[in-house]
Amino acid sequence: MKKRLLAPLAIAIALAGCQQSDNNNQENVSKETIQEVTHVNPLFSEFTTPHGIPPFDQIKKSDYLPAFEQSIIDNKQEIDAIADATNEATFENTIEAMEKSGDFLNRVSNVFYGLTGSMSDDEMRNIAKAVSPQLSALNDDINLNAKLFARVKAVYDKKDQLNLKVNELTLLETTYKGFVRGGANLNDSDKVKLRQLNTQLSELSLKFGENLLHETNSFEMVIDNKADLAGLPDDIIAAAAVTANDRDHKGKWVFTTHRPSKNPFLTYSTNRKLRETLYKGYTMRGNNDDAYDNKKIASKTASLRYTKAQLLGYKTHAHFTLENATAKTPENVFALLNQVWPAALTRAKEEAADMQKLADSEGANFEVAAWDWWYYSEKIRKARYDIDAAETKPYFSLEGTLQGIFFTAEKLWGVTFKERNDLPKYHEDVRTFEVYDKDSSYIGVYMTDHYVRESKRGGAWMSSFRKQYRMYGEEVTPIIYNVLNYPRPVGDTPTLLTFDQASTLFHEFGHAIQGLLSDGYYRSQTGTALPRDYVEYPSQVMENWMTEPEVLANFAKHYKTGEVIPMELVDKIQASGKFNQGFGTTEYLGAALLDMSWHSLETAELQDAAEFEKKALEERGLIKEIAPRYRTGYFAHIFSGGYSSGYYGYIWSNIYDADTWLAFKENGIFDEKTADLYRKHILEPGGSEDPTVMYRRFRGQDPKVQPLLDRRGLTTTK
């Protein structure tokens, strides 16, 4: 692994902090002072901790900004050295040298942005705000460096004569295309415009995320009358009491828009008025015409993205984004969505009619609304399949489900997990595991961070503090982590998961195992370095094992009695697998279509976000009982994340998932040959080659849409 000396800025900080009568007398600076600086800011040197885990307990927030500033300077110098070279441009001295640049910046970014998602506060957000334009400028400095691009192009133009390996050719093509997409072919005037656009977009993205975090954390529904808790399971009531206490509402109950709080309330509460209050609190985030409103930010972002796409020669932002996706064009995306949408919407209307019928039979004098869906669908599920979500929760403890995941990984690939309590971690909730292969060789580190807290953004994700690679001649092992938002255990009762929450744990581990089993050479190609519409595929496949009787029998045990989940309950779970898929598919597709509508705009004219959203969904015929999974004001995936023109990717990946699961079902869910082929051609290669080519090597064919429709029960009506 490449080693670095203490960065000059660290020495400068030490010197500046010393009172000296003679500025030239640097000998008076004690070794202790220098050591203190390097201790205070360990980001300036390689981590000497076990497995190279970041020394979280030594890193202070004040360390990040100087580390970013120096690492950006370092990266610029590395890039300038490549660009200014006078020798003939080769793959090694240009393309590979660029890949190896930025180690310091990569290390700092991995730690900082890893923690901004789960340990955010005003200070961290202010650092992000300060660093964002600097990183945007650095990216532009690289992409718009004419001398550097000339060398890259010189190598690219002779690629057919270089006899490159597949991963090397991929790196060359990706690098060249990145320059073109980054504005390398623009004239000087347009390059200035592009820099301005990138800076503005970066700032808007940060602001959108800040507003959403405030909206999510500030909302609370305080209940002081116990009668208003009617219908709620005991563990949900207990969790609400803990939340109330944490928020200075002692003796009361508080529900928030965080999913572990919101979803159970909407599902079980018999108080329709309170369901409406909480539902609107969630769906109106970023849409309250106050200081934290995101509508204008979204509109401005869409406008600037269109302007940037036009500047770079693309029809729309969607055309620009999808060029690097497996879908390739917006037309292909809409073709898929249009295949699924009619069947999903038809089923959703049937489901809504069933709910209205049930409500009427119970004497309701109202039309079923969006905030009633979870409540009545759960009633129908229970009646139709004799299954209650609360009935399954005692069998899905968080610890049990995690062990079920480990069981599945060992059965498939021989991978084992050894927990370590003595390794560095960034929060007391984090659990750390060493991961070993079937031959007992060390693979990497897996970290989990399961519990909800206000410093976390919502949702669930996987990322890495270090990716796997070996471009310096030795194996660098991965440090992978999952972050989720589950309720904390209350008293002696462990955290119990709904079926969907347990599925999410399997899903995120699907990302993690790809990062852990990665077997690549170049850092930019390893792990989950894949197109947005393909990267969700391995995680979705992982969910399938959870519902298999052999897996459930291993981990789904009652937290009190230890009784294995009864097979009749398993049968009910599997039978209900297609239940409510009209709603699930429609609310998801509604968000995907909203994303594509924003980014298929062929104008820079600012849109009235509320009207634009309403029109886009009405044109598709979305029924009033269903809101898209993400509305504009809180659609962080596309306005402050990396999914713009890409939210459709979950269902695109689902096509690969459904086809892959057919192979496992046909050959055996733990068939060694199938599992090995999947590992070799899907999990290990990362982005070293076109993923569609790798998929054909695994499956022997391209995936088809029909298995997806069959799985969701959308091919026939009742």
In a shared domain, residues 564 and 613? no
Last residue of one domain, picked from the residues 185, 205, 239: 185
Most confident of 1-5, 15-19, 602-606: 602-606
508 carries an active-site annotation:
yes
* pLDDT tens readout for residues 549-607: 899 999 999 999 999 999 888 888 888 888 999 999 999 999 999 999 999 999 999 99
Confirm whether 706 is domain-assigned.
yes
Residues 332-356: pLDDT tens digits? 999 999 989 999 999 999 999 999 9
Identify whether 347 is part of a domain. yes
Tokens of 435: 């991961």
Higher pLDDT: 626 or 500? It is 626
Look at residue 12 in the predicted model and tell me its pLDDT.
Answer: 34
How many Cβ atoms from other residues are within 10 Å of residue 163's Cβ?
8
> 169 with 100, same domain?
yes
DSSP label at residue 268: H
Kindly state whether residues 329 and 448 are assigned to the same domain: no
Q: Are 550 and 423 found together in one domain?
A: yes
Average pLDDT, the chain: 92
Same domain assignment for residues 646 and 682: yes
Among the listed residues 326, 323, 381, 328, the one whose alpha carbon sits nearest the alpha carbon of residue 355: 381
| pLDDT band for position 70 (cuts 50, 70, 90) | very high
In a domain, 212, yes or no: no
**C-alpha–C-alpha distance, residues 87 and 23, integer Å:** 41
Report d(CA 343, CA 664) in Å as an integer. Answer: 27
- Report yes or no on 199 lying in a domain: no
Judgement on whether residues 87 and 141 belong to the same structural domain of the protein:
yes
Count of domains in the chain?
Answer: 4
Chain-centroid distance, C-alpha 230: 35
What is the C-alpha to C-alpha distance for residues 306 and 602, in angstroms, rounded to an integer? 7
What is the pLDDT at residue 13?
32
The domain boundary, picked from 528, 559, 578, lies at 578
- C-alpha–C-alpha distance, residues 558 and 306, integer Å: 53
* pLDDT score, position 10: 34
Band (403; pLDDT cuts 50, 70, 90): very high
Note whether residue 191 is domain-resident. Answer: no
Average pLDDT over residues 229-236: 95
DSSP lists the bridge partners of residue 433 as 419, 446
State how far the Cα of 61 lies from the Cα of 386, in Å rounded to an integer. 52
Nearest to 602 by CA among 224, 205, 302, 203: 302
Residues 405 and 501 in one domain: yes
Question: Is residue 365 packed enough to be buried (19+ CB in 10 Å), middle (13-18) or exposed (0-12)?
Answer: exposed
Q: How confident is the model at residue 642 (pLDDT cuts 50, 70, 90)?
A: confident
Q: Which residue, of 578, 598, 617, is where some domain finishes?
A: 578
Residue 343 and residue 415 in one domain:
no
* Position 251 confidence tier, pLDDT thresholds 50, 70, 90: very high
CB 344 within 8 A of CB 714: yes
What is the identity of the amino acid at 207?
A: K
Same domain, 566 and 701: no
Asked if residue 506 lies in contact with residue 409, where contact means CB atoms within 8 angstroms, the answer is: no
Which is catalytic among the residues 378, 508, 587, 625? 508
Write the pLDDT tens digit of every residue in 653-709: 999 999 999 999 999 999 999 999 999 999 999 999 999 999 999 999 999 888 888
pLDDT at 718: 42
Give yes or no: residues 306 and 252 share one domain: no
Residue 150 shares a structural domain with residue 238: no
Residue 702 belongs to a domain = yes
Q: Which domain holds residue 113?
A: 8-185
- Reported as a single tens digit per residue, the pLDDT across 160-196 is 999 999 999 999 999 999 999 999 999 999 999 999 9
Task: Tell whether 99 is covered by a domain.
Answer: yes
What is residue 576's predicted lDDT score, i.e. its pLDDT?
84
pLDDT at 454: 87
Residue 236 is assigned to a structural domain of this protein: yes
The CATH number of whichever domain residue 169 belongs to comes to 1.10.1370.40
CATH number at residue 349: 1.10.1370.10
410 & 478 share domain: yes
